[in-house]
Amino acid sequence: MKLVFATNNPNKLQEVQKMLPPSIQLLSLKDIDCFDEIEETAITLEGNAKLKANHITDKFGYNCFADDTGLEVETLNNEPGVYSARYAGEPANAENNMNKLLTNMSDASNRKAQFRTSICLNLDGKQFLFDGVCKGDILTHKKGEKGFGYDPIFSPEGYDTSFAEMSSEQKNKISHRGLAIQKLVSFLSEL
């Protein structure tokens, strides 16, 4: 079976392909000649994942899955959430996003937050949703050089390090996206 992963990130694609049975061949957006700017205009992560997966299925006819991730901070009423990529405005910039979050939380004693990933799978006319959550704390300053996005200021529950101090293997085992992908892979492996 050919299955499109609505991403242009070759590392993400390869990582998921390695977890799938060989009978499932993953294709990237580039592989199907899709260069569209798919709008992420929904107000929930699930909504954006659905928009992306539906765009591919409707326009290109493929079975497809898409993901969307947000950082939900308890003391900020779960902001930036679905707006995590654009928190400090356009163009998306991880440094500015982190600085804005640290400033908005400068007086906050409650540092609890969670990353949440939602995956929407369109398969043979049916739609399935999978989610993954990673709870933790927002640090008071940046730590570590690895990863991307908010990794330097997020420390997962049970660890003294930030995500940016972990190897990608270590992070994938416990991360929101890793957990959501594991659920998707178990589902696909049982078909």
The catalytic residue positions are 68
Closest among 61, 59, 68, 13 to 36, alpha carbons compared: 59
Judged by beta carbon, residue 3 or residue 116, the one nearer ligand IMP is 116
Tell me if residue 113 falls in helix, strand or coil.
Answer: strand
Q: Does 165 bind ligand IMP (CB under 6 A)?
A: no
Q: How far apart are CA 108 and CA 74, in angstroms?
A: 10
Least separation in angstroms between residue 169's CB and ligand IMP is 14
Q: Does 69 bind ligand IMP (CB under 6 A)?
A: yes
Least separation in angstroms between residue 13's CB and ligand IMP is 13
Least separation in angstroms between residue 43's CB and ligand IMP is 14
Q: Are 59 and 33 in contact (CB under 8 A)?
A: no
DSSP 109: S
Q: Does 152 bind ligand IMP (CB under 6 A)?
A: no
Q: Does 175 bind ligand IMP (CB under 6 A)?
A: yes
For residue 162, give Cα distances in angstroms to 132, 139, 158: 19, 8, 11
Q: Does 163 bind ligand IMP (CB under 6 A)?
A: yes
Q: Does 138 bind ligand IMP (CB under 6 A)?
A: no
Q: How far apart are CA 84 and CA 27, in angstroms?
A: 26
* Sites of contact with ligand IMP (CB under 6 A): 68-70, 84-85, 92, 94, 97, 115, 147-151, 163, 175, 177
